[in-house]
Amino acid sequence: MKRNSDLSPQTKAAQALHMLDGASGAVVPPMHSASTFARDENYELRDGFIYSRYGSPTTEQGEDMIKSLEGADDTLLFNSGMSATVAVIEALPMGAHVVAQSMMYHIGLNWLNRQAARGVIGFDSFEAGNLEALSAAIKPGETKLVWIETPANGDWSITDIAAAADIAHAAGAILMVDSTAAPPCTTRPLELGADIAFHSATKYLNGHSDLTAGVLSARAALPIWEEIHNVRSFQGTILPGFEAWLLIRGLRTLYIRYKTASDNAMRLAQHFEGHDGIEAVQYPGLPSHKGHAIAAKQMTGGFGGMMSLLVKGPKGRALAVAKTCDVFIPATSLGGVESLIEHRLTVSGEGYGIPENMLRLSIGIEDVDDLIADLEQALATTA
Ligand SMILES: Cc1ncc(COP(=O)(O)O)c(C=O)c1O
Which of 12, 105, 155, 219 does the annotation list as catalytic?
A: 105
Is the same domain home to 211 and 270? no
Asked if residue 214 has its Cβ within 6 Å of ligand 1, the reply is yes
Please provide the distance, in angstroms rounded to a whole number, between the alpha carbons at the two ends of the chain.
Answer: 60
CB contact set of 80 (below 8 Å; sequence gap of 6+): 200, 202, 212, 213, 214, 237
If one counts the domains in the chain, the total is: 2
- Which residue is catalytic, options 67, 144, 160, 178? 178
Asked if residue 200 has its Cβ within 6 Å of ligand 1, the reply is yes
Residue nearest atom 6 of ligand 1, based on CA coordinates: 81
Cα radius of gyration (the chain): 21
Annotated catalytic residue 67: no
**What is the distance in A from the centroid of ligand 1 to the CA of 263?**
23
C-alpha 55/C-alpha 57 separation (Å) is 7
Which domain-ending residue is among 251, 279, 299?
251
Contact 175, 190 (CB under 8 A): no
> Is the CB of 342 within 6 Å of ligand 1?
no
Distance 24 CA to ligand 1 centre (A): 37
Q: Are residues 87 and 110 in the same domain?
A: yes
Whether residues 9 and 120 fall in one domain: yes
| Degrees, nearest 5: CA angle 328-329-334 | 95
Closest CA to 243 of 114, 79, 38, 99: 79
Q: Per-residue pLDDT tens, the chain, 383 aa: give them.
A: 445 568 999 999 999 998 888 889 899 999 999 999 999 999 999 999 999 999 999 999 999 999 999 999 999 999 999 999 999 999 999 999 999 999 999 999 999 999 999 999 999 999 999 999 999 999 999 999 999 999 999 999 999 999 999 999 999 999 999 999 999 999 999 999 999 999 999 999 999 999 999 999 998 779 999 999 999 999 999 999 999 999 999 999 999 999 999 999 999 999 999 999 999 999 999 999 999 999 999 999 999 999 999 999 999 999 999 999 999 999 999 999 999 999 999 999 999 889 999 999 999 999 999 999 999 999 999 99
- Give yes or no: residues 236 and 348 share one domain: no
Say how far apart CA 327 and CA 263 lie, in whole Å: 18
Same domain, 188 and 324: no
| Shared-domain flag, residues 283 and 222 | no
Task: State the sign of the Cα–Cα–Cα–Cα dihedral 140, 141, 143, 144.
Answer: positive
Q: Is 210 a catalytic residue?
A: no
**171 & 310 share domain:** no
Domain check: are 187 and 201 in the same one?
yes
Three-state SS string over the chain comes to CHHHHCCCHHHHHHCHHHCCCCCCCCCCCCCCCCCECCCCCCCCCCCCCCECCCCCHHHHHHHHHHHHHHCCCEEEEECCHHHHHHHHHHHCCCCCEEEEECCCCHHHHHHHHHHHHCCCCEEEEECCCCHHHHHHHCCCCCEEEEEEECCECCCCECCCHHHHHHHHHHCCCEEEEECCCCCCCCCCHHHHCCCEEEEECCCCCCCCCCCCCEEEEECCCCCCHHHHHHHHHHHCCECCHHHHHHHHHHHCCHHHHHHHHHHHHHHHHHHHCCCCCEEEEECCCCCCCCCHHHHHHHCCCCCCCEEEEEECCCCCHHHHHHHHCCCCECCCCCCCCCCEEEEHHHHHCCCCCCCCCEEEEECCCCCHHHHHHHHHHHHHHCC
**How far does residue 75's CA lie from ligand 1's centre (Å)?**
18
9 cis-preceded (ω within 30 degrees of 0)? no
Residues 21, 81, 152: CA angle, nearest 5 degrees:
120
Ligand 1 midpoint to CA 87 (Å)? 14
Report how far ligand 1's centroid is from the alpha carbon of 306 (Å): 13
Residue 80's Cα: distance from chain center in Å? 11
Of 163, 172, 170, which Cα lies nearest the Cα of 192? 163
Is the Cβ atom of 184 under 6 angstroms away from ligand 1? no
Q: Answer yes or no: do 245 and 293 share one domain.
A: no
Q: Please check whether residues 244 and 290 belong to one and the same domain.
A: no
* CATH number where 352 lies: 3.90.1150.10
CB 334 within 8 Å of CB 105: no
304 lines ligand 1 (CB under 6 A): no
**Ligand 1 closest atom vs CA 83:** 11
Q: Which of 12, 67, 188, 203 is catalytic?
A: 203
Q: Which of 222, 251, 280 is the last residue of a domain?
A: 251
Please indicate, yes or no, whether residues 226 and 327 belong to a single structural domain of this protein: no
- Examine the residue annotation and report whether 203 is marked as an active-site residue of this protein: yes
- Ligand 1, pocket-test mutation among 202, 209, 235, 239, most atoms within 8 A of CB: 202
Residue 101 Cβ contacting ligand 1 at under 6 Å:
no
21 is catalytic: no
Domain holding 142: CATH number? 3.40.640.10
Q: Which of 251, 271, 295 is the last residue of a domain?
A: 251
Range of the domain at 138: 2-251
- Asked whether residue 114 falls in the same domain as residue 233, the answer is yes
